[in-house]
Amino acid sequence: MQKIKHENKMIADVFTNKLSIFTTVILMVWVLIDFDKRILVESNSNISDVKSIKIVANEVPKLNENFVKNLDNIYQAFEIENEAPSNDSAITKQKNQSGELLKFIINDNQLELKAVIFNKQGDKSINLSIENKLESYALIKVTNLKTGNVIIEKVKNNDIAFDYKLTIKRNTQVILQKQLADKVHKIVLTMYMRK
């Protein structure tokens, strides 16, 4: 009982306090103005007042033949003619490629390592041990530089591809080796360069 009397006294104090009455009046005025702006104005707006806008697609500009020919002549000044390298220079460039590469050029083909796939034995994933690498293979993107044709070649570990022996080094790298007359030509073809 005493608790109810105490609560009633608190409510009576709030309504007799000048600051709380002023705050309540300001709050009620703000709520009424907000209600008027949001609800009443939107419901009183007339839908017929909305103007319809006709949307027309822009036409593609038409260029006359003389203008197109002039543009072609201007751009031809900046074109670089690709001269086919002589066979001797291509072989020299191929021999000069060494180390870790993203792309390796062999004759008219550019090789890029796209994936190294390790097969699974049973339910266990294969680790990178040497005996398990024998069952693995690499996917290599081969781009013919003359024709632009692109194919993906599947090359097994320790197989010969483009006269090079392919050995899987890790899941992002393969080693390509070829015995030349004076030395072993070794390339590490990688999917990305490490920093």
Which ranges constitute the DSSP H helices of 36-144? Answer: 41-44, 65-76, 87-96, 130-133
pTM comes to 0.47
Contact 113, 100 (CB under 8 A): no
pLDDT of residue 135: 74
Q: Can you give the residue ranges of every domain in the chain?
A: 2-44, 87-190
* Per-residue pLDDT reduced to its tens digit, 116-131: 888 765 444 445 454 4
For all residues of the chain together, what is the average pLDDT? 76
Place of tokens 């709050």: 27
- Contact criterion met (CB below 8 Å) for 187 and 104: yes
Among 36-40, 49-53, 119-123, 190-194, the minimum mean pLDDT is found in 119-123
101: exposed, middle or buried (Cβ count in 10 Å: 0-12, 13-18, 19+): middle
Top pLDDT among 23 and 85 is at 23
Read off the pLDDT band of 132 (50, 70, 90). very low
Amino acid at 149: N
**137-144 sheet: strands from edge to edge:** 103-106, 109-117, 137-144, 150-156
Residue 71 confidence class, pLDDT cut points 50, 70, 90: confident
